[in-house]
Each structure stands twice: as structure tokens, then as C-alpha cells.
Chain A
Amino acid sequence: MERAPQQSSDSILATLSVDLLIQILDRVADSRDRKSWRQVCRGFLHAEALRRRSLRVLRLEALQGLLRRYAACLERLDLSACPSLDDHALAAALAAGAGLWRLRSINLSRASGVGWRGLAALAKVCPHLEAVDLSHCVGVGDREAASLAAAAGLRDLWLDKCLGLTDVGLAKVAVGCPALEMLGIKWCLEISDIGIELLAKKCQNLRVLDISYLKITNRSLQFVSSLRKLEDLSMVGCSHINDEGLQFLNNGSNSLQSVDVSRCENVTSSGIISVIEGHKYLQDLNIGDCFPELAPLFLSKLNYLRDSLTVLKLDGFQVFAPSLKIIGLNCRNLVEIGLSKCKWVTDEGVSELVAGCVNLTTIDLTCCHLLTNKALVAIGDKCKNLTCLQLESCKLITDNGLDCIGTCCSNLEEIDLTDCTMTNAAMKYLSRCSELTVLKLGLCDKVSDEGLVHIASNCKKLRVLDLYRCFEVTDDGLAAIATGCKRIKNLNLCYCTRITDLGLKHLSCLEDLHDLELRGVHCVTSLGITAIANGCQHLTELDLKHCHLVDDAGLFALGQYTKNLRQANLSYCQVSSMGLCNLLGSLKCLQDVKLVHLTQVPVEGFESALRASGGRLKKLKLLTGLRHLLSPGLIQMLQARGCRIRWVDKPLNLVP
């Protein structure tokens, strides 16, 4: 900070009052711009703090300071990136703004260290709490649910995969939070009909309910059917539910708009029919992988939903052309259709479908092997608003099919061409879609730099690019991408063996890059990694498996610059104990590391490196041989801190 600009900013503050600054700030949308704003001066920072409503904390050590600054205005707090959060840290952080909290929503997803004490403190300090996400906190059980139930105003609660939760905990929540509107208890395997019954009796305001994969029976649906305000019901993989249960939903006493019964293996079309009959305004129906054949009665019943139905997912069905024709005739407002793994879908069928459903924006045709270019022509012809097209493994499709898509569907945002026989010509056609954000070209080994140049020329908004095993791609292609598609976030370059450090140097200008996969790119050395670490400081996931030339220097760079790195695969790299210790010791966000066949690292190296990680790790992959060589105390310490160690027994295979 130099003196001169500070004075000038003071003068700006003199003319612009705080409320004016806030007015201006409201017009700054992008997060990076906001970051720049914060760095202008204290006045700007203060204005931003007054305006800030939501906060996502990336590093735990910053939590307390951040909360001290933002406590008064903050409404949404996301701590899901801090899995090492524990009760103590949470309580301390909450104490920073005691009495001031206006927090409405908190995301503690995967924060498995948080227990009932932390949650009790949370419920006590934040009286306005409305939404809590505790999904994937596998340690959460009844005790935690009971603490949470003290937050009486809770409306949204996500408890997916809280494995300790039983009917008792659910009852606590149901009694304590009668205003509950959204509840997710997916994978809470201990919950039974009794719990669901009580929930339905106590929380009459429920709008969204996710009871997927529970071992509940038809009895539960009887009580769920009494929830008048229920709009969205997900019960994926509830194998104990059958048509009899779905018949309870026939009375139409719910306000159901969305039903997901996919993977419920005992449900047949007659059950679905009773759901359709009961709910005229159903918008979203997912019946994928339930039963193999579509009954004619079901197809004709779709007529009931003519005006409302917008999403229909039929994954895994035997859908023939006549069926698709009826769907096309009956569901004119369809926006999204899922036909993945429907192996009998033909060009004719798709043509019939799109002739009726011209509003389709998302079409999933994954693994519809019979489709040819004709289907794509029909889609391009009719569905002008298409945004998402999934064509993985449609091997009969060629470049010419995409010509039509590229020309007609200018809104296309996402296309999956994995395992299709595409060449650079297809890239040329696709480059017309300037809105493209997701492009998956895995296994399209004929796509080369030329194709990438086409893409880079027009698809400025590209965020996800998958070039898995595109052997033809070289550094030049990456250079084109790096200059054309500045906003790339996920980049998969696995087994693109012609890529060298130079290509990575090009990529280092991608500031948004979060996820980079370089598995099997064996020409890459520490030099390239250093360039990436330097340039892409937001990197959170990095896969360097089988990058044999990467050594300690690369790890030092990663440890120094990529402070947000959360997942790293270093298997088969030529790193030594020193580099490993440095990496694990300096990266405070690292949660998931794979350290298989690090031939240069002795047991002591592993020992000290893992000790240096300080118990932040949540997932660890090691060779089985180390199991008895590492000190038992260390393993116990890691496991006590919530680390799951996967022991693998693989032969040393240097050729990927």
C-alpha cells in the first residue's frame, strides 16, 4: 500500500457515504470483483462487511477472524469446506459474535467432527436459525438431533447419511421443529416406519421430503400421504415399497409436484398410475430403474398430466418407438427427458418424441446404442431450446450429426460425447455454441489440437472440459484452450501422454482451475507442476498418479501456493520423505491423499509425514504393507480424528 492512493481513497470516502458505497457494491456481482473491492481500503472493507450476507469459509484457521468481522450481518454460513471443524472450534467461532447472530442458514456438511455440544451451542446462539445441513456427518446420531431440536424455527434440515440417527432422533427433531418444511434423511438406515409416522403427524408443513434408501414399508407412505403441503417426495431405492404403498398417494391429499421412485425395485406401472391419478399437477416424475416395461395404461395415463409434466425420467426401460410417440403426444410441455440405458430407443422413436415435445431442453440418451445422426437431426430440428444433450456411448453418431445440433441449438450448454467417434470436424460444429460450459470428449481419440482450437475460438464460457485419453492433444491445444476458455474449472487430461510441462505452463493462466487430473501424463515434471501451483492457486483437487517425473520440487511448490488443495493423488510419483512431509505439513485443507507405491519414501518418511498432517486427513490410501510397519499409535490417532484408511494391495506397475 502506498501513501498516495490511500489519500485518494480517503477523499473518495469523504464524498461517498457508507450507504452509497453499499449501493455501488450491490452492483458488483462477481466474487473476484468483490475481492478486489475489499482490498481497496478499510472503508470499502467495512461497507462490504455490512453488506455481506453469506460466507463460505475455505480454511478453518481463518474462521474466527472472519466471523468476528461479519457476525452481525451474516445470514448464511458455509463451513462444508472445513471438515476438520470440531465442537471446540465451532463453539469458539460462535462465541465471537455472541448476541449478534442473525444466522439463518448453516452448512456443516461433512464436518464429521461436530457433535452435540457444538450443535447445542449453535442452536442456543443463533435463535433465527432456519436451515441446517448436516449431510454426510456420519457421526451424527440421536444426541446431535436432540441438540438441533432446540432450534424451534428450523425449516430446512438435511441429515443425509447421518448413520447414527434413529427414530428417536427423528422424533426429537419432529417434536422440536414443528415448522419443518424440508427434510432429507436419505441413507439414515436406522429410521423405520414408526419414525416416519411420528414425523408426518408432527410436521404438517413439510414440503420437501427425501426418504431415499430407507428400510421403510408401505405403512410409511400411508402417513406421508397425509402431508397436505408435500410437494417433493424422493424415495429412491426403497425396496420395501410397492404398488400398495403408492396407492396411498392416490387420494390426492398432497400437493405433490415431484416424485422420485427410481430404483424402487418392487414398484410397477400400476403403482405409478395411482400416483398419477392422485396428482394432476405433477411436474417431475422419475421412475428410472424400477420395472423394465412400460405398460400401455401408464402411457395413456400420462395424458392426465398433459399440462403439468415437465420432467420425465425413464432410465433403464425398454422404450420402443410407439411408446415414445405416445409420450410425445401426451406430454407436450416436457422440458427434460431421461432415456439413459433405454437400449431400444431408435431414431424413429426420438423423432416421434421431439415432434411432440418441442420445449425439451435436456435430453439424456446415454447408452442408446441404436441412435444415428438422424436422431440428432430430428432433435436439432425441433428442440431449438436445447441446453443439455447426453450422448455417451452412442457409437453410431458421427460428426455430421453434430452439424445440425451446432447450427440449430445455439443455447447448448452441456454436451457429453464420451466414447463417441468424434473428430475435429465435430468440434468445429460445436464451436458455434457459444454458451457451451460442459464438454466431455473422453475416449474421443481422434480429437486433436485442431478441434480444441475451434472450441477455444468461440466457447468462452467453458467450465468443464474432459479430454480423458484424447491421445492426440498436445501442448498447443492446451495453449489454445488456456487463451480461449479462461474460466475453465475442471480439466481432465488423464493419459493425454503428449502433454509436457509447456502445456501446463499454458494452463497456469487459468485462475479458476479447481480440479486438474494429470494421471498418466508421464512427461510432466516438477517444473510443470510448479507452474500450475503458481498460477492456479484455487486448485482443490489434483491427480498426479503415474506422473513418474514429479519429485519433491513439485510438492514444495504445491505446499507453498495451492493452499486450498483438498484432494491429492501422488501414487507412483518419485517423491521423497522430505517433499511429502512438507506437503502434508503445509497444506491445511488437505483431506484426501492417496500415497500408493511411493518407492522413494521409507516407512519413517510416511510416519513423519502423516504425523505432520496433524490429523486433518479424512481419507487416506496406503499400501497394505505399511499397515504393520507404521506405528499403531499413529494409525489410532488418525482414525480417532475421523480418518478412514484404505489399505490396498497392488503390485508395483510402472506402466499405466
Chain B
Amino acid sequence: MVPERRRPPEASSKSSCSMMSESPRNRKPDLPFAPFDSTNLWCGDRHGRSFLEFSPPLVTQSSGLFGPDRETKSKKQHEPSPVDDPVMDWNPRLMLSNLSFLEQKIHQVQDIVRSIISHEDQFLDQANELAAQQQLVTADLTYIIIQLISTAGTLLPDIKNALLSTNPAVGRPGSNQKQHEILPVEVAKASQYDSLVKDLNSCGGNEDELIKCSNNSGVDASEPIPIEDHDTKDNDDGMDGENLPPGSYEVLQLEEEEILAPHTHFCLICGKGFKRDANLRMHMRGHGDEYKSPAALAKPSKEASIEPQPLRRYSCPFVGCKRNKEHKKFQPLKTILCVKNHYKRSHCDKSYTCSRCRTKKFSIIADLKTHEKHCGRDKWICSCGTTFSRKDKLFGHVALFQGHAPAIPMDDAKVLVTSDKAQVSEASSGMPGNMGYNFSGNTSLDAQSPDIKGVDDGHGCFSPMTLDACNIWGLAEFPHSAYEVSESTFSFLATGSCSSIQRNGEN
């Protein structure tokens, strides 16, 4: 099932790659390993791409956008070693174009909200669609916020530097993540903006630690995809079993974007994302001989691990959750992996539906796979009609009740017929069923898709990425792709360079 699910994204990534293959190639020789410089670059680049790709009417504007890009390039030729250099070179023209783009974007969101209002009656009976629309809006808003922040980040180098030096990771007042979602257009309030920047910057400051942690967890799980690890399931949702006194450990709270990010390591040159630092370093070798040196390939966390690390535990960003540090009976999560699984299981939509029973839903694909191993297969039936997925459970039941006995499949015609039917339905669903199994409420979303398209057509380039993603990979991936946009907040600040389109494709 996985390959089938992945194929469309790959295809899309290919297409997107081919479309913008020139720009990274052009930049390659002179693009340095500079997080803050590249933010600037990336912003422009990113806009350019989105316009180029999805909004033919705005091509003129996008070509204008490339102007500043080239300018920065020429500038950088004078500064060949900008690593860790905090000096910001900001371009007012670029800024202006950014802002005008943002303005446009906000209008689009307004439109979509209006359309939601006008279709309210329709949505009443189709809650799914409404939710999808809301997610669409949320995604776009998040995108706008990111753009805003990135733009502002270039404007306010002083704040950034000051905050970076203090590294306020521990004990910061509760998450502002909610604000990202709640504050829509009036984000521009100064105080909130400040705190936002603070947050995001602090995340940037913590980046090393984060990566380290996720590296560790990756090693522990000894699986290339830490998210799909099952073993931690008991650990993170149940009790931890350890009773650490409250002060004895350091509490770290990741933001939603960080938690949901599929990748935590990004190539500064081409923007490709990776789950592991080591994989990134392997990838970097392709960008030039300087990345092939033993020093560049060495594990960066080694020195840090020699120093005694304080015991670190994690808090869930969801306020009110028992795993949130504000909770009275706060129970910390052990590893980043625990955080990821906990957050997805407890606070995210369960978008993966079992194709067999069509009732069980999961937010983690590994959980779905575990369930599907047992669902529908080897049905163990008692003479009283109760069904069990496991033989020992059935036998426990039989032992408990007087007169109950396991039923033999052929025992009564009914069971036979139903099982046959099940097989038939399985067979008939065949490939398309498999393709669509993880797209919850496939049909309802299909019905809804014309609406979205209508909006799209009517208003030009509105949120092209999300829509594109939806149309290509199936609609139930919706919430996922919506989050993906918001992830870019994290990724962008973490490494300073990234292309969310490519990540979409790579996912």
C-alpha cells in the first residue's frame, strides 16, 4: 500500500523539480551555507516558484521577483564566507513584492471564508467538507504568517540576534502555537508579533538540540522512519512508569509544526529534507567536494554528548493535555518520538481509515497497518455470535461463559455467507480500494472537490500548493498537506532554507 500511496507524490515532486531545476542549479556555485542569508533568498525564491508554477497571470510579477534574487547573488560574491554572520542584507524591493503578495493572499483567504459562509447550509450535513475547508483556510493562514515572519525577520536583525544569544528554551511561558491558528489577518499586532518572532527564533536556537534528540530517538528505534515505530506506543500513551521528581529534568516543548514535520534536516543548497542528519550529510556530498571531507561527514553531536547532559523530558504543546507541562499532574514524554506519536494520536485528525472494517481510524499509518494485520482476517467467532480478532481472546471468552463454544466457520450458513460476502467485497474493491483506503471519506470529499476547484479557478492563484497536492494525491491527504505548509515554519527557521513544494513531493 505504501508504494501506491507514495507514487503520486513522487510524480509531483518530479514535475516540480523539473520545473524549477534551473534556479537551484544557477545558485549552486555561490550559495553558501548561511542560514540567515538564505532565508532571504529562499523567500524570494519561494514566491517566484509558486507564481511561476501555479499562477500564469502573475508571471510578470514573478519575473520581477527574480530581479532581487539575482541582486543578492551578486552581493554575495563580495562576501564569500558568510557562515554564522548575523548581518542581514535586506532588499526593500523584495520586501515590497513580498508584502503585495501577502496582501493578495489575504484577499484569497477572505474569499474562501466568504464562500464557506455562503455554503453554510450545505456544510451542515457534510461536516467533513467543512472541516476540510477550515483546514484549507488554516493552512493558508499559516502560510501567510510564515511569510510575514520571514519578511519581518529580515527587517529586525537586532531582535533576532539578541534572542539568539539568550536561548530561552526552558520554562518559556506556554505555547503560542494556538495563536498561529487563531490569529488570522490581524496578526500584525505588535506584541503578538514580537512574541511570535521570539518563539520561532528560540526554536531556531534550539535546533541543534532538537536534531540531536531526534537523532537519538532514531537510533533507539533503529528504524529509518521513527514515526512508524510501534514499540513506543505503550510508552507514550500509557503511563511512563518513571516517577521523576518535577525539578529533576529539563522540559522541552516542541511546537506543532516541529512535531508534524516529516523532516527535521534540510539541505541548504537544494532544500531537500531528511529525517536524519546522517542522511543529509550523505546527500551533501553530491553538492561538492568540500562536503566529502571527514570533518564534514563526521557526526556533529559527538562533542556534545561527552558533556553531561541534563535529563530531558518533553511536553506536549496542547494546553490542557496531561502531557502538557501546565497540567496539574503533568507527565512528561520521554523522547521526541513519544511526542510525535502522542501528539498525532491525541490531538490530530485520524485520517487513516481501515479499508476492511471502515470504522477504525488512525492518525499514524503504522497504527493502521498494525490494525489491518488483524482486522477482518481470522475472525474467531463464538457460538453466541461474538467475534474476536484473536484466538486466545475467543478461548478466554469461551472459558468464562457456560455453554459457549467456538463456532466452526461452516457451522451455520449465515457465517459462511457473511464471510463470503466480505471476501467478495474485498475482491471487488481490489486496487482502487487499496489506493483510496487511507483517504477518509473519499466519496464526500470527491463531491466537495468541484467547490474547491471553483474557488481556485475564480481567484487565480489561491493556495496553489495545497490544491495541487489534493488533486494529485487524493483528497483525504488534505489535512496532512495542510499541515505540511505550516511545517515550513519550523523547517524554514531551523535551517533557513527550504522548499515546501519539494518537500511535499518528497514526503
Contacts and interface: CB of A to CB of B under 8 A. Distances in A.
B411 A146 contact: yes
Interface string A174-199: 01100000000000000000110110
B457 interface: no
Interface string A138-177: 0000110010010000000000000000011101100110
Contacts of A202: 399
A217 B50 CA distance: 64
Nearest to B402: A175
Interface string B404-419: 1110101100000000
- Residue among A169, A171, A201, A202 with the most chain B CB within 10 A? A171
B398 A142 contact: no
Nearest to B399: A201
Contact of A175 (B391, B392, B405): B405
Given A194-B391, A194-B392, A168 B408 contact: yes
Contact of B395 (A142, A149, A169, A194): A194
B403 interface: yes
Given A143-B410, A146-B411, A175 B395 contact: no
Contacts of B405: 149, 171-172, 175-176
A146 B398 CA distance: 15
A282 B399 CA distance: 30
Given A167-B391, A194-B392, A172 B399 contact: no
A171 B410 contact: no
A172 B395 CA distance: 11
Contacts of B406: 167-168, 171-172
- Residue among B391, B403, B404 with the most chain A CB within 10 A? B391
Nearest to B403: A175
Given A149-B405, A176-B405, A171 B395 contact: yes
A176 B391 CA distance: 19
Contacts of A195: 395
Q: Chain A interface residue count: which class?
A: 10 to 19
Contacts of A197: 395, 399
A175 B404 contact: yes
Contacts of B411: 146
A198 B392 CA distance: 10
B412 to A, nearest CB: 11
A464 B257 CA distance: 88
Interface string A198-214: 10011000000000000
Contacts of A201: 399
B419 to A, nearest CB: 15
A146 B411 CA distance: 9
B406 to A, nearest CB: 5
Nearest to B405: A175
A143 B411 CA distance: 8
A656 to B, nearest CB: 51
Interface string A113-149: 0000000000000000000000000000011001001
Contacts of B398: 171, 175, 198
A195 B394 CA distance: 11
A93 B408 CA distance: 28
Interface string A395-416: 0000000000000000000000
A142 B403 CA distance: 17
A461 B392 CA distance: 56
Nearest to B404: A175
B382 to A, nearest CB: 10
A195 B395 CA distance: 8
Contacts of A146: 408, 411
A600 to B, nearest CB: 49
Contacts of B408: 142-143, 146, 168-169, 172
Interface string B334-349: 0000000000000000
Nearest to A178: B402
A167 B390 CA distance: 13
A206 to B, nearest CB: 15
Interface in B372-399: 391-392, 395, 398-399
A175 B395 CA distance: 11
Nearest to A200: B399
Contacts of B403: 175
A176 B383 CA distance: 12
Contacts of B395: 167, 171, 194-195, 197-198
A149 B395 CA distance: 17
Nearest to B393: A194
B390 to A, nearest CB: 10
A169 B410 CA distance: 12
B407 to A, nearest CB: 8
B497 to A, nearest CB: 57
A175 B411 CA distance: 15
A555 to B, nearest CB: 45
Contacts of B392: 194
A219 to B, nearest CB: 11
B246 to A, nearest CB: 43
A176 B404 CA distance: 9
Nearest to B400: A201
Contacts of A142: 408
A253 to B, nearest CB: 19
Contacts of A171: 395, 398, 405-406
Contacts of A167: 391, 395, 406
Nearest to B392: A194
Nearest to A170: B406
A421 B404 CA distance: 64
Interface string B49-67: 0000000000000000000
A198 B410 contact: no
A535 to B, nearest CB: 52
B416 to A, nearest CB: 13
Contacts of B404: 175
Nearest to A149: B405
A340 to B, nearest CB: 40
B67 to A, nearest CB: 74
A195 B391 CA distance: 10
A168 B399 CA distance: 12
A169 B406 CA distance: 8
A195 B399 CA distance: 10
Nearest to B381: A168
Contacts of A169: 408
Contacts of A172: 405-406, 408
Interface in B410-454: 410-411
A169 B408 CA distance: 8
A175 B405 CA distance: 6
Given A176-B405, A201-B399, 19 more contacts: A146-B408, A146-B411, A167-B395, A168-B408, A171-B395, A171-B398, A171-B405, A171-B406, A172-B405, A175-B403, A175-B405, A194-B392, A194-B395, A195-B395, A197-B395, A197-B399, A198-B395, A198-B398, A202-B399
Interface of B: 391-392, 395, 398-399, 403-406, 408, 410-411
Nearest 5 Cβ contacts at the A-B interface: A175-B405, A168-B406, A201-B399, A171-B406, A194-B395
13 contacts: A142-B408, A146-B408, A167-B395, A167-B406, A168-B406, A168-B408, A171-B405, A171-B406, A172-B406, A175-B398, A175-B404, A198-B398, A202-B399
